Structure 1
Amino acid sequence: MSTKSKKQKMTLVALTWPIFIEILLYMLMGNADTLMLSQYSDESVAAVGVSNQVLSLIIVMFGFVATGTAILVTQNLGAKQEHAAAEISIVSLGANLVFGILLSIGIFLFSKPILLMMDLPPELLDEANSYLLIVGGFSFVQAFIMTIGAVIRSYGFTKDVMYITIGMNIINVIGNYLFIFGPFGFPVLGVEGVAISTTVSRFIGLAIAIIVMIKRIPVELPFHLLFRFPKVHVRNLLKIGIPSAGEQLSYNTSQMVITFFIATLGTEALTSKVYAQNLMMFIFLFSIAISQGTQILIGYLIGAKKYEDAYHRCLKSLRLAIIISLSAAILFSFFAKDLMKLFTSNEDIIALGSTLILLTIILEPGRSFNLVIINSLRATGDVKFPVYMGILSMWGVAVTLSYLLGITFGLGLVGIWIAFIADEWLRGLLMLWRWRSKVWVRHSFVEEKAV
């Protein structure tokens, strides 16, 4: 049997565990950079952390096409419209490649002004700029990888994307080791070396991902549409992608503003935030994996017009995500100090970071609501409500309370974490209300067929 004719088992577990491993490895790639750089310099860690805050915003810009792709492909596959799904896949690749190149050029030209706008401490500017120039200048590669990954996962081949990520991680860690520690006569390049190894690993991952996509999609891919952009597909991609990106864009820009607040507290506070969030990512990755697997399933169910099944699938996934993330947060809190010691010997940073991880026990269940239900709403095509509520809560609650509690009232990072908790829970409960209302039933895109 050829690889093009294989059908994947579409269950939450079958879809989610490879997504979990994939996201875990992406996080390990970032943590490998942080952990290995921490043996080089705490200042370098802070510099890369701020640069990655900027790059995360760029990733959101790429994500609006990838998000639209995943939703439209799964809905069309659920409706048995395989040729339309293949057309959407190729159009999405062309759109994100063009968009990615434009954003990469922008980062290359304006990296230093962007960092200066964040009020970065002067001692971090050169290293942060070096990292942003290299990784950001080639960020179009990540745009292409994200879109191809969304396509492959939408067809149910989540393990393939996982294997590609494993290979990228191995290459990245080897490159970090060579350029940070300088064995075999390699030059010690520090932050610059980490940026080079990250970029090289992405280029290699992209080449493999293209081959896998061609083999896995069961119909002939219409590559002639790569830069032609049929109106019906572009219109639907924008209808889903722009609001979805708006919610993520609001979150990331609000986080950049909050990072600016933290930067005014000094390098030590900034470094504590980077270390604590690196550890917290391992807690909420369970919810991320469950939410992405759920999105694929609900997309198929919506395409097949099985609305009640979709409704109950989301709620079951939500319960699972809350239980797992809460358990993980409690476990991490018991070992918080030991985990912080993996990154630094600074006792003040260890104490502060441990307190932030303890607060994560309250924060993570609220985040689970947002991750699972927002991805479920997107899968149905109901994408505007999360944006409106996200902007209201992120800026009205997270940013405002961060400044009041963290800066005005002098609670520092603890006050800022309390603001995060309030934001996640408010948005989460609003998303649950929206899902229970079932107004999302009328938002499916499968009625619009390619012309």
Structure 2
Amino acid sequence: MIKERKWPLFSLTWPIFIETLLYMLMGNADTLMLSQYSDGSVAAVGVANQIVFLVIVMFEFIAMGTAILTAQYVGAKDEKRATEVSLVSITANFLFSFFLSILLWLFGKPLLYAMKLPNELLDEAYAYLSIVGGFLFIQALIMTIGAILKSYGYTRDTMYVTIGMNILNVIGNYLFIFGPFGIPVLGVRGVAISTTVSRIIALIVIFLLFVKRTKLSFSPSQLLSLPFYHVRHLLKIGIPSAGEHLAYNTAQMLITYFITWIGTEALTTRVYTQNMMMFVWVFGIAISQGTQILVGHFVGAKQYDDAYAQCLKSLRSAIVVSILMSSVCFAFADSLFSLFTTNKHIIETGKRLLLLTIILEPGRSFNLVIINSLRAAGDVKFPVYMGILSMWGVSVTASYVLGIYFELGLIGIWISFIADEWLRGLFMLWRWRSKTWQTKSFVHHHLGTA
């Protein structure tokens, strides 16, 4: 039985915050450790990860639909359909992600050629992409099972798994980058192996937790008898939801392509700066994901006024925190950049970018919190339409005009990011206040579970 449970936002958010922070630290650990090995290796992994992130967005088609549907079913106390959606989503995302992982392993090098990666970075980037990309279906399964656990309110479980995964990853990085005890120094290839092995172990643990929490048993006959019409419902939510992420990541890939025109040093500066910005993003991401769970439960229970108030309350918190954290990052910019590099030009450019980030991050807060709330309520198409319009019409276009044509470099590109985040954010606020989303609940409107 799904029990009546009420969570304050903080009780859901703090484990998500730690989990998300550690996910980002996993990338930062790779970057920080590789920076002791080679600045070029940092740039190579940074570009390879642009492709990895794009493929991960494809996995989110199902994972995001799972999170929204499960949360609404839990709110509506429909245990049967919550269980069915969970099992169907795990099976479907495994098959889909395994296919994409094979494609990434086979065609990784042509993709890197298409991004005009400097020749000196190509071998290292492909070494990383072939290993991490070939096993990326492991990450898809972790994402899907984690989304289900969070929708049930078990945010601490996914946090503990992420803590363990990060510890294993850092240990592996240390062994393969610095080569203690006679272990061969593998550089970028070693980082890729460490990342993949830690994910495999994390998948085993999170799957066992999932079985324990949901008390489900698995058999081939049970999986074959599942109502796979749920896949259609998952995709109706998941494709538009992930479409906004897809628009963002493809836009970022094109902007990365622009940055390759500026040079390897600009690529490296962007990677270092965004690694620091992640510590600002993590607060907004945690607040937005906690809000998504609550809004999904409220909508499932038809408590629309509670859902409306929760989103706006969360938004205010996210804006305040983003301004404070981005200001702290700028205040300590010299010390932070010195952890990664001694290149004075990278440090000075990075400081200017962090100053602009104080303006950028409050705009991002609007998008993180309100878009996740709109998705949780079933209003999944509007953020995609606005995302494509703004990310491509504003961010990509202005990045080229300011960064390349007017030769403002990374400064011009950061200004384009500011314009994009604030334009989209204000439109999202207008959409939430219109309350159109109250008519979009997938559980009640499409499945008649009211």
- Residues 449 and 192 of structure 1: CA distance in aligned 2, closer, same or farther (over 3 Å): farther
Structure 2 distance, partners of 1:221, 1:99, is 20
Task: Identify the match of residue 75 of structure 1 among 72, 77, 80.
Answer: 72
Of stretches 179-188 and 222-231 in structure 1, the one that deviates more from structure 2 is 222-231
Structure 2 distance, partners of 1:7, 1:195, is 43
Structure 2 distance, partners of 1:96, 1:219, is 18
1:185 aligned to 2:144? no
1:427 aligned to 2:424? yes
Task: Identify the match of residue 378 of structure 1 among 375, 378, 381.
Answer: 375
1:108 aligned to 2:94? no
Of stretches 405-414 and 332-341 in structure 1, the one that deviates more from structure 2 is 332-341
How many corresponding residue pairs? 447
1:411 aligned to 2:408? yes
Whether the aligned pair in 1 keeps the contact of 2:3 and 2:77 (CA below 8 Å) is no
Structure 1 distance, partners of 2:85, 2:219, is 9
**Could you tell me how far 1:338 is from its partner in structure 2?**
1.2
Structure 2 distance, partners of 1:238, 1:439, is 21
1:138 aligned to 2:135? yes
Task: Identify the match of residue 263 of structure 2 among 247, 263, 266.
Answer: 266
Task: Identify the match of residue 344 of structure 2 among 340, 343, 347.
Answer: 347
SS of corresponding position for 2:358: helix
Structure 2 distance, partners of 1:269, 1:305, is 50
Whether the aligned pair in 2 keeps the contact of 1:90 and 1:223 (CA below 8 Å) is no
Whether the aligned pair in 2 keeps the contact of 1:291 and 1:376 (CA below 8 Å) is yes
**Could you tell me how far 1:226 is from its partner in structure 2?**
3.8
Task: Identify the match of residue 387 of structure 2 among 390, 397, 405.
Answer: 390
Whether the aligned pair in 2 keeps the contact of 1:405 and 1:412 (CA below 8 Å) is yes
Partner of 2:275: 278
- Residues 435 and 131 of structure 1: CA distance in aligned 2, closer, same or farther (over 3 Å): same
Task: Identify the match of residue 243 of structure 1 among 240, 259, 263.
Answer: 240
* Identical residues among aligned pairs (%): 66
1:400 aligned to 2:397? yes
Whether the aligned pair in 2 keeps the contact of 1:90 and 1:225 (CA below 8 Å) is no
Deviation per CA, 1:51-104: give whole Å up to 9, x if none: 111100011011111100000001001001011101100000011100110110
- Residues 242 and 268 of structure 1: CA distance in aligned 2, closer, same or farther (over 3 Å): same
Deviation per CA, 1:376-421: give whole Å up to 9, x if none: 0000010000000000000000000000000000100000000000
Whether the aligned pair in 1 keeps the contact of 2:2 and 2:74 (CA below 8 Å) is no
Partner of 1:317: 314
Q: Match of 1:247, as an amino acid?
A: E
Q: Provide the alpha-carbon RMSD of the alignment.
A: 1.5
Mapping 1:215-254, distance limit 5 Å: 215-217=212-214, 224=221, 226=223, 230-254=227-251
Q: Match of 2:158, as an amino acid?
A: V
**Could you tell me how far 1:217 is from its partner in structure 2?**
1.4
Structure 1 distance, partners of 2:221, 2:80, is 14
- Residues 449 and 217 of structure 1: CA distance in aligned 2, closer, same or farther (over 3 Å): farther
Q: Match of 2:353, as an amino acid?
A: L
Structure 1 distance, partners of 2:164, 2:221, is 30
**TM-score, normalization by structure 1:** 0.97
Structure 2 distance, partners of 1:230, 1:124, is 47
Partner of 2:200: 203
Of stretches 231-240 and 145-154 in structure 1, the one that deviates more from structure 2 is 231-240
Q: Match of 1:250, as an amino acid?
A: A
Task: Identify the match of residue 90 of structure 2 among 74, 90, 93.
Answer: 93
Structure 1 distance, partners of 2:199, 2:29, is 15
Deviation per CA, 1:16-41: give whole Å up to 9, x if none: 00000000000010000000000000
Structure 2 distance, partners of 1:7, 1:19, is 21
Which portions of structure 1, spanning 4 or more consecutive aligned residues, are displaced by more than 2 angstroms? 4-9, 218-232
Whether the aligned pair in 2 keeps the contact of 1:22 and 1:161 (CA below 8 Å) is yes
SS of corresponding position for 1:84: helix
Q: Match of 1:208, as an amino acid?
A: V
**TM-score, normalization by structure 2:** 0.97
Whether the aligned pair in 2 keeps the contact of 1:69 and 1:150 (CA below 8 Å) is yes
Task: Identify the match of residue 445 of structure 1 among 413, 424, 442.
Answer: 442
- Structure 2: runs of 5+ lacking an equivalent: none
Structure 2 distance, partners of 1:70, 1:406, is 38
Q: Match of 1:211, as an amino acid?
A: L
- Residues 280 and 263 of structure 1: CA distance in aligned 2, closer, same or farther (over 3 Å): same
Partner of 1:362: 359
- Residues 226 and 449 of structure 1: CA distance in aligned 2, closer, same or farther (over 3 Å): farther
SS of corresponding position for 2:54: helix
Whether the aligned pair in 2 keeps the contact of 1:87 and 1:225 (CA below 8 Å) is no
1:46 aligned to 2:43? yes
Structure 1 distance, partners of 2:280, 2:440, is 32
- Residues 161 and 266 of structure 1: CA distance in aligned 2, closer, same or farther (over 3 Å): same
